[in-house]
Amino acid sequence: MIAHALFFYFFSVIAIVSAIFVIVSRNTVHAVFFLILDFISIACLFIMIGAEFLGMMMLIVYVGAVAVLFLFVVMLMNVTEQKSSWFRGTKKSNHIPTGLIVGSVILLELIVIVGGWKYRDTFSETKFLSFDKEFTNTHAIGNVMYTEYIHLFQISGIILLLAMIGAIVLTFRKREGVKTQSYFKQVSREREDSVELVDVEFDKGVKFDD
């Protein structure tokens, strides 16, 4: 048990500290790396509570795809020149006190709630999710994903499709005057199209029409 607690605190401290560093670090590349560290430690926490599927998904999706994408974007932008000007406020912002007040009020309210927190001892029965020790939770998710929650699964697909359409609508531009390769044209070119056999009469030369 102690080892479990130790690992829990180890990963949580890393998660919290790196989350703070994501915000405060001035170098965007560092911020992204801290974000990745944050994701990894959260994935470890997921695995520790026995949700190995969520943990692995976290690694694959967030660390593997999203964070690397972030890194790409950050590296493509010209960060080194602008990083100092981005993060240095031009004038003193007067939003900070207001934000602090609102934030601390919400924090106090949350403390009130967490103080009165009582986990429900019986989560109302979800008919389809069995809390069977025999099943791994990948198996359990697989059981319901395509049966009881098929509509949610399909709708997520439509949301992704819409995201794709949106990205294309907002960024795709038809360029004029670009010479693109047409495989079909290249392959379907016949010998007759481009080779002309001319009988050249002696001492007359060749006369082309154009």
Partner 1 sequence: MLAIKFLIPEIFLSISIFSLLMIGVFIKNSFEIIYRLSLFVIILIILIILSGDSESIKIFSESFTIDRFSLYSKILILISTFFVLLMSKKYIVDIKNNKFEYPIIILLSILGMFIMVSSNDLILFYMGLELQSLALYILASIDRDNIKSSEAGVKYFVLSALSSGLLLYGCSLIYGFTGSTNFEEIANSKDFNVGTIFGMVFILVGLAFKVSAVPFHMWTPDVYQGSPTSVTSFFSVVPKAAGIAIFIKFMYLPFRDVLNQWQYILVFMSIASMILGAVAAIGQTNIKRLMAYSSIGHIGYAIAGIAAGTENGFKSTLIYISIYIVMNIGAFACILLMKRDGKYVEEIEELSGVSKNHPMMSFGLLIILFSLAGIPPLAGFFAKFYIFMAVIESEMYTLAIIGLVTTVLSAFYYIRIIKIMYFDEPKKPFEKFVDYKIHGPIVLSCVLLVSFFIYPSILNEIVSNISIF
**Binding stretches for partner 1 (CB under 8 A):** 109-110, 112-113, 116-120, 122-124, 127-128, 148, 150-152, 154-156, 158-159, 162-163, 165-166, 168-170
Give the nearer residue to partner 1 in terms of CB position, either 50 or 166: 166
Give the nearer residue to partner 1 in terms of CB position, either 1 or 113: 113
On whether the CB atoms of residues 206 and 198 are closer than 8 A, the answer is: yes
Kindly state the DSSP code that residue 65 receives in the 8-state scheme: I
- Taking the C-alpha atoms of residue 56 and residue 59, their distance in angstroms, rounded to an integer, is 5
Q: Tell me, what amino acid is at 1?
A: M
Q: Please, what is the minimum distance in Å from the beta carbon of residue 25 to partner 1?
A: 21
Q: Please, what is the minimum distance in Å from the beta carbon of residue 142 to partner 1?
A: 17
Q: Please, what is the minimum distance in Å from the beta carbon of residue 120 to partner 1?
A: 4
| Sequence-separated (6 or more) residues with CB below 8 Å from residue 148 | 127, 128
Question: Chain centroid to CA 16: how far?
Answer: 21
Give the nearer residue to partner 1 in terms of CB position, either 90 or 124: 124
Q: Please, what is the minimum distance in Å from the beta carbon of residue 144 to partner 1?
A: 9
Give the nearer residue to partner 1 in terms of CB position, either 23 or 169: 169
Helix axes 79-87, 28-48, angle to 10 degrees: 80
